[in-house]
Structure 1
Amino acid sequence: MDEQICNGIYAGTNSYINVSFDSSSQGQVAMVIYEWADSNYLGAVTPGSDTSLPRTYICTTDAVRAGLCAASDVGMFILDLPANKTVAETSIWGSSIAFSGTPSAPASLTQSNSSVSSSTRASFWDNPDGPPTPPADPSLDDYTSPWLARRALTQRAPEDTMPTTPMTGATIQYIQPIHYHVNKTGYYCVGAIPVTVLHQGETGGTNHTHASFSGTVLFQNEFWGQLPAAEYPKITFYMIVMLAYTGFAAGWAFLCLRHRHDLLPIQNYVSALFGLVVVEMLANWAYYRYVNAHGDGTASKVFLFVVSILDAARNSLSFFLLLIVSLGLGVVREEIDAMNKARILAAAHAFFGVVYAVGMDLVQLETASAFLLLLCVVPLAVTMTVFLLWIMYGLTGTIAELAARKQKYKLGMFKKLYRVLMAAVVALFIFFITSSMSFSSRYEEDYTPRSWKNRWWLLDGWLVLLYMAVFVTIAFFWRPTGSNRRLAMSDELAQDEEDAEDYDLEAIQMRGDRAKMEAMMGIDDMGAGGGPQEGRIALRGDDGDDDGDTVFEIGDEGSDDEGDRRKSREAIVPAKDRTD
């Protein structure tokens, strides 16, 4: 049974906390509303030599006798303020609440348990006779829900004109909801501790009135809707990311249209991935808009499952395409032997991605067990690690092969891809270290108050932006251009003079002519020395041949660099008659 409900609130003129108790509530409760930064002012150190004793939070007759509070504060939370600070200078609101039929001046108090439930309804009005139908909003008369309302563009709640319930210093007889206007953004808590009242009975004996209550707490942020404050920034974030992807996709489509006759297969895959990413970001934005308008329900959970599938499909397709590009498909080789293994790995990564996405939305990090968190994170981390290692291994091999074949243009493209991936790996490593350090303190009392505003960024936002940076950078390097054919399944002609001779017909003929002249002039070698050297012309035949032809071989048979290309090249030239 909860005795305290906490939530983050973005402050504004329309933000407040409203606490309503059901008409069935009986007895008396000590109630407090505060921002977490002031939590150290609640309660007093329990006297005694045992330092492990918890603080005393409720003013009872025993607490009065111990000097922890004044007799006028019996039934209320104890405040331990510094000498130079007043209650008005803090966020604390506290009082004793008595329900119908309960004496307002108890003689003795003890603690018991009850419950307070939380609610995030868009509007709230209540009284001890039960909650009536909330008043209609005139601005929504033409709409079925805030999803279609004009005000949804600004997402601001109606201005809060109700004043905060005053702290009278005495027990408040409950006749209307407790209202607390929020002036400062923070993590606010509502605590309600039921107490037992001892009072004089009609027959002269002592009667006990045990508190029993249930109620609803509304945390109304400055925005309109039912999303918790910690999740609300995702609406704007995914809208901006979706618009950014749409702009990038439009630019990519223009380039594809301009060079439509020279597109490579990998560029068609990137086009499909651009479309999937735009749809996925649109689905994420629509999901949070829907939940903000309609709250959690069956439809919201189905919507969440669809979004999770799209997210997992996007990640898996990205890794799969990155893998086949790194292995050189369509650029270095026409097919990959391990294609089926790559598809199985992509399917496994997609499945574990759905598990992770759904788990992060449904699991409460503060109360989840380490095993459950590991079950959501570890399988996805394993498949991602296999993908990354395989990609880097394949990319390294492709770069080495292109370097050996002296394919400079393709080599430059793959080296750029390698640098981008290395930067992404470093960024992911930093992310995992940061997130691990953050989640390791999730059981600490102040973890949620410290992290509620930026936890969405750590879980979702940072990775989304990292993916966009990597994807857009790679797409820019591999964008459709007039040089597309230089990446096709063909070898690049050598750009230096030495290697170009192997492809240039004119150079081949010039070598033959030079060899012919050297043979006719009796030149055995262009350099000095009598031993066999590179460039030597070996004449075949003898003076007694009457066929008029001499066969000679160009090149050094022992040359490692030129042997394969120049060995067995022969030319037949007429021999000059000797006139000895």
Structure 2
Amino acid sequence: MQRLGLFSALLFLLNCLCVAANKENINQKDHQVCSGMYSKEDWKGKVDPFISFNVKEISEVSEDDPGMYVAIFDFQDFEHLGAVLPDGSKYYICDDYAIELGLCDESYKNEFIVKEIAYDPITDQNVTLSNQIMTFSQKTEGLHDTKYPVKETGYYCVTAFTRSSSTKFKATVNFRNAYGHLAASEVNKMPLYGLLAIGYVVAMALYSFAFWKHKHELLALQKYLLAFFVFLTAETIFIWAYYSIKNEKGDTAGLKVYMVFLSILTAGKVTFSFFLLLIVALGYGIVYPKLNRTLMRRCQFFAAFNYALCVAFLIQSYLQKPDSTSLLIFITMIPLTVSMFLFYFVILSCMGKTVRYLKEQRQVVKLGMYRKLLTIIYASLLIVLAGLVLSMFVLVGMNAIEMIEQHWRTRFFFTDFWPSLVYFGVFVTIAFIWRPTDTSYMLACSQQLPTDPENVADFDLDDLQSLGEPADEFDDTIRDEDMIFTDEEDDHPNNQQRDAQHPK
């Protein structure tokens, strides 16, 4: 689960930082932006989907300079932009030179050259336009009068060039879908995270019922699990609310603050996943009722340190511009990576020691629980990798144009939602194994179990008596040396009397 939690969180954070927004900025350096768009028939909404172009800043140009040339088009029609010159190169702008060569008509002067029929080198065939290409020139600030109507679902691009390299400009492209302000690549997250939140609520309700039913027979570990259930449920609801608010209000300053808050929650999710696995690997709640107080404090301090590093990395990521090439991000990234590696190493090391100890003590029930845990951890990793491999195979089966045209619809599922879904399955499965039962508390108190499965519930009388002792008289801190029995202890009169009363 620690690998899955880390992998899920990193993918989630990467998606949060890099996903295309509903509005994109372009300038003389980054002169092209693209985004998926849904038609109104495919995704219902209140408005007709469109793409608008708004010039925010543009430097002064001469009177005969058209300023910037703009084209809005479906990506699969990119071969229709420009005309082929005799030397095999392409010429894109309809100017005096292109008109003189007969590449375009004078009525389209100062616009992109658009060919109704173009040669597709991938299919080795001539193809016609799939959708309208809108092209114009603009030299003043403000919103362009005409909006590009999106009639079909696809991947649309906006490109802008200037005739002079000295001309500077900044413009905003609005990819407005019918349903709201969410980018088309994100809209499917809203219903899916809603369903995931419902799944967490149902699973938490079932766990809470078992928790209430056995409220007098609880382990501290089971209390941790319930608290984490509440946290994960709340986090998933917050994620769903984020996409819902963004769809209604757009990408506002308040939403960016909310996004930072969500990322801090994700850091808590990753850190607490590691912390739970670490104390379970140390035997907390199953092998021993409690860990040594000093050892538990060390685990808590290490988890808090890891959480602080994770939050620092996230905050620095948001403060640093996405296009920045600064290496300052490594100030927090390197310590976080080292901390995660140490967490991972300590967990596996402690898990191995606990499993060996249970084998030596022949505690088959507990050993079986830990083997199930290891199986779940490795299976979850394989499932996540299988999802990524499957997505790669799907992409390999597409040509370059199909991959760009269609991958934006499903990319989020494999990079963001799929790890979250697997994490849900792993956590619910582990919580079910460690759920409160009639014998779970006695399982933690027992130091030795019979190897006969039919007598698994036969605990020592000392264990049963310890359940009824006051909490302040029960020393629940058990160390490894306390778990080793000598021949003298086996020959103790009390043990002989007990064996006589309970023959095997």
**Structure-1-length-normalised TM-score:** 0.60
Partner SS, residue 454 of structure 1:
helix
Partner of 1:8: 36
Partner SS, residue 174 of structure 2:
strand
Partner of 2:247: 292
Question: Where do 1:206-355 residues align within 5 Å?
Answer: 217-224=173-180, 226-333=181-288, 334-336=290-292, 338-354=295-311
Partner of 1:410: 366
> Displacement of 1:376 after TM fit?
7.5
Question: Where do 1:125-204 residues align within 5 Å?
Answer: 177-193=145-161
CA distance in 2, matches of 1:373, 1:256: 44
> If each structure's helix is expressed as a fraction of its own residues, which one has the higher value?
2
Partner SS, residue 445 of structure 2:
coil
> Higher relative CO (CA 8 A, sep ≥ 6), structure 1 or 2?
2
CA distance in 2, matches of 1:447, 1:369: 28
1:494 aligns with 2:450: yes
> Displacement of 1:427 after TM fit?
4.5
Sort the Cα spacing of 1:329 and 1:213 in 2 relative to 1 into closer, same or farther, 3 A. Answer: closer
> Displacement of 1:356 after TM fit?
5.6
Partner of 1:58: 93
> Displacement of 1:355 after TM fit?
5.0
Sort the Cα spacing of 1:409 and 1:496 in 2 relative to 1 into closer, same or farther, 3 A. Answer: closer
CA distance in 2, matches of 1:564, 1:306: 59
1:38 aligns with 2:111: no
Contact 2:365 2:449 in 1 (8 A): no
Sort the Cα spacing of 1:39 and 1:20 in 2 relative to 1 into closer, same or farther, 3 A. Answer: same
Partner of 1:532: none
CA distance in 2, matches of 1:407, 1:479: 19
Question: Where do 1:351-500 residues align within 5 Å?
Answer: 351-354=308-311, 367=323, 369=325, 379-427=335-383, 451-495=407-451
Sort the Cα spacing of 1:459 and 1:348 in 2 relative to 1 into closer, same or farther, 3 A. Answer: farther
Contact 1:311 1:353 in 2 (8 A): no
Partner of 2:9: none
Partner of 1:93: 133
CA distance in 2, matches of 1:356, 1:234: 25
Sort the Cα spacing of 1:363 and 1:470 in 2 relative to 1 into closer, same or farther, 3 A. Answer: farther
> Displacement of 1:192 after TM fit?
4.1
> Displacement of 1:371 after TM fit?
5.1
Partner SS, residue 82 of structure 2:
coil
Query: What are the Cα deviations for residues 128-187 of structure 1, in whole angstroms up to 9, with x where unaligned?
Result: xx77xxxxxxxxxxxxxxxxxxxxxxxxxxxxxxxxxxxxxxxxxxxx721322122222
CA distance in 2, matches of 1:62, 1:179: 29
CA distance in 2, matches of 1:86, 1:115: 36
> Displacement of 1:189 after TM fit?
1.7
Query: What are the Cα deviations for residues 308-367 of structure 1, in whole angstroms up to 9, with x where unaligned?
Result: 2222112211210111011102332332454344223322332343356567778787x4
> Displacement of 1:220 after TM fit?
1.7
CA distance in 2, matches of 1:233, 1:265: 38
Partner of 1:126: none
> Displacement of 1:75 after TM fit?
2.6
Contact 2:93 2:112 in 1 (8 A): yes
Partner of 2:111: 76
Sort the Cα spacing of 1:422 and 1:193 in 2 relative to 1 into closer, same or farther, 3 A. Answer: closer
> Displacement of 1:254 after TM fit?
0.6
CA distance in 2, matches of 1:426, 1:301: 34
For structure 2, the residue ranges without an aligned partner over 5 or more in a row are 1-26, 42-47, 120-124, 395-399, 462-484, 494-504
Partner of 1:530: none
Judge which range, 69-78 or 262-271, deviates more: 69-78
CA distance in 1, matches of 2:70, 2:460: 92
Partner SS, residue 263 of structure 1:
coil
Partner SS, residue 260 of structure 1:
coil
Partner SS, residue 262 of structure 1:
coil
**Pairwise CA RMSD of aligned residues?**
4.4
CA distance in 1, matches of 2:127, 2:404: 27
Provide the aligned length of Structure 1 versus Structure 2: 414
Contact 1:76 1:94 in 2 (8 A): no
CA distance in 1, matches of 2:376, 2:140: 54
CA distance in 2, matches of 1:19, 1:504: 78
**Structure-2-length-normalised TM-score:** 0.68
CA distance in 1, matches of 2:369, 2:313: 34
Contact 2:72 2:135 in 1 (8 A): no
> Displacement of 1:436 after TM fit?
12
> Displacement of 1:455 after TM fit?
3.8
Contact 2:384 2:418 in 1 (8 A): no
CA distance in 2, matches of 1:41, 1:362: 40
> Displacement of 1:246 after TM fit?
0.5
Sort the Cα spacing of 1:437 and 1:244 in 2 relative to 1 into closer, same or farther, 3 A. Answer: same
Contact 1:115 1:214 in 2 (8 A): no
Partner of 2:52: 18
Partner SS, residue 83 of structure 2:
coil
> Displacement of 1:404 after TM fit?
1.1
CA distance in 2, matches of 1:361, 1:454: 26
Judge which range, 292-301 or 33-42, deviates more: 292-301
Contact 2:50 2:175 in 1 (8 A): yes
For structure 1, the residue ranges without an aligned partner over 5 or more in a row are 100-113, 117-129, 132-175, 197-209, 439-443, 506-560, 570-580
Sort the Cα spacing of 1:222 and 1:423 in 2 relative to 1 into closer, same or farther, 3 A. Answer: same
CA distance in 1, matches of 2:378, 2:168: 61
Contact 2:200 2:232 in 1 (8 A): yes
Partner of 2:21: none
Largest Rg, 1 or 2: 1
> Displacement of 1:495 after TM fit?
4.0
Contact 1:410 1:486 in 2 (8 A): no
Counterpart amino acid of residue 347 in structure 1: A
Sort the Cα spacing of 1:56 and 1:360 in 2 relative to 1 into closer, same or farther, 3 A. Answer: farther
